[in-house]
Each structure stands twice: as C-alpha cells, then as structure tokens.
Amino acid sequence: MSKNKVLYEGKAKQLFLTEKDDELIQFFKDDATAFNKKKHEIIDSKGVLNNLISENIFNYLGKNGVPNHFIKRLNEREQLIKKVEIIPIEVVVRNKAAGTFTKRFGIEEGKDLPGTLIEFNLKDDEHDDPLVSDEHIKVFKWANQNEIDEIKEKAIVINRLLNELFNKIGIILVDFKIEFGRFNSGKKVEIILADEISPDSCRLWDIKSNEKLDKDRFRRNLGGLIEAYKEVATRLGIDLSNF
C-alpha cells in the first residue's frame, strides 16, 4: 500500500491519499495537545499505542454491528481506512460529569448523570469547538435531520458496547468523543463511525481506584501517560510484547 500526499493534518493524526480513491492511510503521531493547542508536547510512542487501541476497539464495534471506517492496521503507526466525508461535528457521549461539563453546569467530577447525554461540538479550533444544538446543525447544513437521528442512535449503541467492553476489564467509561463520516459505496451513502477511539478521546477510570487512564494525565500534568495507555491496551488483551 503506497502512501501519497498528505490529505489532512490534524493535531494527533495525518491522513494520506493512497492509489485507491476510496481508501486512506491514517497515521498516528506522538503529539499531545490540550486546551486548543495551548498545551503541546511530544509523548514518545503515544501514537503507536493509540493505533493499537483504536484498531482493537473499531474491530470490536465492527463485529458487534457498528459500521466503521477501519479496514486493517498496516504497521505500528498506520492503518488503512475507508475514505469518508467527515461530518464536522464532535459527538460527545457522557455517562458521568467530567471535563468542561463540570465547569459548565457546576456538577462535581465523577457524578453520575441522570441519563446518557449526547452533546455536539462544531469542529472549529479557531472558535474553540463551540457547543451546538441540532438546530445549528440543520440550519448551517452540517447534517440533515435524518443524519442527526442516525448519529444519535449510533452513539447510544456505541456507548452501550463500549461500557460492556470496559466494564469487563475494570474500567469506567466516563465520557468519549466520536466522529462520523459519509461513506459513498457507489450504490448508497452511509453514515459510518470514523476517526479514532483511544485514551486520547475517552475518559477512562480504574474501577477500584478511580485512577485516570486517559489524556487527562497530560491535561492535568499527572505524568505516567504511557504507562496508563499501556495498562488500557493490556487489559483489552492487546499483545505489547513487540512494543
């Protein structure tokens, strides 16, 4: 699989074109950013762990009936994915209060929410990814009502499956961010899960100690990020012997 030019450069990943029009290579970098890039560091091997963890989770979701962009892992930092038109909305699913949510509503970190909450943020770094409603999404035509409904349904299913997965390995899924894209199979356009799911995009706490096993270790200068990501990978059954 030969890699062509960079199609997109994000904070933690790059997307490369391939010789196939409908496939891309997703490359995981070691960059860690927070607070809209105000904090930035290179954390050696983070990209390798996120590639492995995201592969594991996308395979699990695929086997459980969640269509997604993952095709196969190519090497330690790259995976082959289906090319989609990304819907420019970050879909955040929350089970417990944490992060920006605690500040917005004055709810203490770790409090169970009365129900699963789905929030949308526009992907717009220049304006700090503002929170948007279904109405904003429709009026600005980032997605139509059917797509919004489908995204919400998929987000609920993904949350259930991820809760089952992480519960079994002694991890609490506090919240996570996912992205969706439109995949054109030639016959129809389908909404599928895209991007990544990793400790960069989820809040994961050890069930016994509440220890943070995710990017909050970087955001809050707690140290031990790689050890935490390795712990998540090992509990997921990922073989790190070559790591």
Contact region with ligand UDP (CB under 6 A), list: 1-9, 48-56, 79-87, 198-206: 198-206
Q: 197-225: b or e for each residue (b if 16 or more CB lie within 10 Å)?
A: bbbbbbbbbbeeeeebbbbbbbbeeeeeb
Q: How far apart are CA 161 and CA 57, in angstroms?
A: 10
Q: Is residue 180 part of the contact set for ligand UDP (CB under 6 A)?
A: no
User: Cβ of residue 105: shortest distance to ligand UDP, in angstroms?
Assistant: 11
Contact region with ligand UDP (CB under 6 A), list: 60-68, 91-99, 139-147, 155-163: 91-99
Across the chain, the runs of DSSP E, i.e. the strands, are: 6-9, 13-17, 23-28, 31-34, 39-42, 70-73, 78-82, 85-86, 89-96, 112-122, 131-132, 171-184, 189-194, 202-206
User: Cβ of residue 154: shortest distance to ligand UDP, in angstroms?
Assistant: 16
Q: Is residue 13 part of the contact set for ligand UDP (CB under 6 A)?
A: no
Cβ atoms of 201 and 232 within 8 Å: the answer is no
Q: Is residue 99 part of the contact set for ligand UDP (CB under 6 A)?
A: yes
Q: Is residue 25 part of the contact set for ligand UDP (CB under 6 A)?
A: no
Q: Which residues contact 119 (CB under 8 A, 6 or more apart)?
A: 91, 92, 94, 131
User: Cβ of residue 56: shortest distance to ligand UDP, in angstroms?
Assistant: 17
User: Cβ of residue 213: shortest distance to ligand UDP, in angstroms?
Assistant: 12
Q: How many residues bind ligand UDP (CB under 6 A)?
A: 14
Among 77, 96, 215, 217, binds ligand UDP (CB under 6 A): 215
Q: Is residue 203 part of the contact set for ligand UDP (CB under 6 A)?
A: yes
User: What are the structure tokens assigned to 238, written together?
Assistant: 């990922």
Among 13, 154, 177, 217, binds ligand UDP (CB under 6 A): 177
Q: How far apart are CA 97 and CA 108, in angstroms?
A: 7
Binding site for ligand UDP (CB under 6 A): 90, 92, 98-101, 129, 175-177, 201-203, 215
